[in-house]
Amino acid sequence: IDLLVSFCVSGAPSFLLPLRSKQTQEPLPQLTQADRRSKMSENHFLDYVKAALYLWMMIPLTIIGTLLQPVWSLMWMLTDKILWRLVGRSFIYNVSWEDPRIDHKVFKLKEDDRVVTLCSAGDNALDYVIEGCHVTAVDLNSCQIALAELKSLAIQHLEYEEVFRIFGVNDIRLLRKVYFGTLRKHMSEVGREFWDSYVYRICNFQ
């Protein structure tokens, strides 16, 4: 608000003022002290008029915004519920595209460090573990946590070739085989609840 008031009182910005050619510009006449006072009074009067017009416009807009506040709140609440219904049923990010090598150079993580990070697809969170630090991955969407848990357990309990075939080559048939045969028994309750049904619905990780 301070910036808006300052902008209106100070007058139009320089790029809106008419330009004068340097060749045609005439020297300014010498003003007497009385003329300067008269000019200052005119400028102050215009500033007051601009400020009054600004307030005259803002008061009704503020009142209207206050009256419509319940409507905006209801719209935001409905939007959140609709998005949660759509987003909360599946993971959105299958791969983390950020390059964690930059983070390693900046953070210089050690074994006694603790990192809290957004889970997303879990790739960067798992990459931080390579440095030996303790990592806590958080996400509003529990399906993203389930995906990260699947990747973590696959790395721990499967061979490298199997992990690459599942997440690199999209061998979903192999995923279903190792999920029930190896991974499921190590999963959390949330992970099992998600993957017990989703492992049959998923087509690929790309």
CA distance 135 to 191: 18
Interatomic CA distance for residues 146 and 124, integer angstroms: 15
| pLDDT value, residue 183 | 94
For 91, counting Cβ atoms within 10 Å of its Cβ (0-12 exposed, 13-18 middle, 19+ buried), the class is buried
Highest averaged pLDDT of the listed ranges 4-13, 85-94, 103-112, 154-163: 154-163
Q: Per the structure block, which two tokens stand in for 204?
A: 């690929």
Give the Cα separation of 144 and 98 in Å (integer). Answer: 16
Q: How many CB atoms lie within 10 A of CB 124?
A: 21
pLDDT per residue as tens digits for the range 62-117: 788 777 778 777 777 777 676 666 655 566 667 777 788 888 888 888 888 898 88
For the beta carbon of residue 146, count every other beta carbon within 10 angstroms. 24
Of 110 and 163, the structure prediction assigns the larger pLDDT to 163
Task: List residues bridging with 187 in a β-sheet.
Answer: none
Residue carrying the six token digits 């090598």:
101
Rounded Cα distance, 17 and 149, in Å: 62
Nearest to 195, CA basis, from 122, 125, 171, 186? 186
Which SS3 state, helix, strand or coil, does residue 159 take?
coil
Look-up: residue for tokens 């790395």? 155
Residue 106 near residue 98, CB atoms below 8 Å: no
Q: Is the pLDDT of residue 131 over 60?
A: yes
Q: What is the 3-state secondary structure (H, E, C) of 99-152?
A: CHHHHHHHHCCCCCCEEEEECCCCHHHHHHHCCCCEEEEECCCHHHHHHHHHHH
CA-CA distance, 154 to 122, in Å (whole number)?
A: 12
